[in-house]
Amino acid sequence: MGNNNGTYEALLEETKQLLMQRTGMSQYDLELWYKAIFDRSKKGKLSKEQMIAIYKDMSELDSARITEVVDSLERVFDEDHSGTVDINEFMRGFILTTKGDLESKIDYTFRIYDKNGDNQISGDEIKKMADAILRMLGSDEKQNDNASHAIVQQFLGQFTGGEKGVIYKHDFIRTVMNNQELLALISPFCACSHHYHRYW
């Protein structure tokens, strides 16, 4: 959950600077958002249920994707598996995924799939990404193995490291930014209309 030894004020200043830089929001507006979210927290910590409620009440994110987004944020930020996320870390995720630019959203998407934080998606991480896309498409679970394999092959062909079974962060961001179909499939933070091409 981040720096448990720091104060909320110190973390908030760091958070404000990052978000002002990445979103262009003013300090005043960010402080209003922070207060609104802090008032819903329990001493600066947010449970999964609280995060879902915040997204439902305070964002325009597709309601069908809210649980997926919160699961992703929880997986990234709940490092001690306590079931809660620090408010400042949630603020970063919430603001960047609702107010941030496209690159910020894609960068967060990469972090979701890069489980071990080595700046590349490979091996089982690619398989899990394909499975997540299948769930988004509503694929029959019995088709998952064949469909997942087809998606993996299709996606790997889009990236320069694909022939080695690796997707590098810089290539992921560049490729997804320039491909609306990939963006709609891969990123739970994208508000694109969901017209998918079936690969199987």
Arithmetic mean of pLDDT, 64-81: 79
Higher pLDDT, 139 or 47: 47
Report the share of the chain in percent with pLDDT over 90.
17
Note the pLDDT tens digit of each residue in 80-90.
788 899 898 88
The model's pLDDT over 119-156, given as tens digits with 9 standing for 90+, comes to: 999 888 887 777 776 666 665 545 556 766 676 677 77
Which tens digits make up the pLDDT trace of 162-174? 778 888 999 999 9
Average pLDDT over residues 65-94: 83
**pLDDT tens, position by position, 1-26:** 444 444 455 457 888 888 898 888 99
Please state the pTM of the whole predicted model: 0.65
Q: What is the mean pLDDT of residues 102-114?
A: 85
pLDDT band at 49 (very low <50, low <70, confident <90, very high): very high
Compare 189 and 65 and report the one with higher pLDDT: 65
Quote the pLDDT of residue 139: 59
Residue with token string 């490291």: 161
pLDDT score at 148: 64
**pLDDT reading at 38 higher than 50:** yes
Task: Give the highest mean pLDDT range of 15-24, 39-48, 110-119.
Answer: 39-48
- Domains of the chain, CATH where assigned: 8-98 (1.10.238.10), 116-186 (1.10.238)
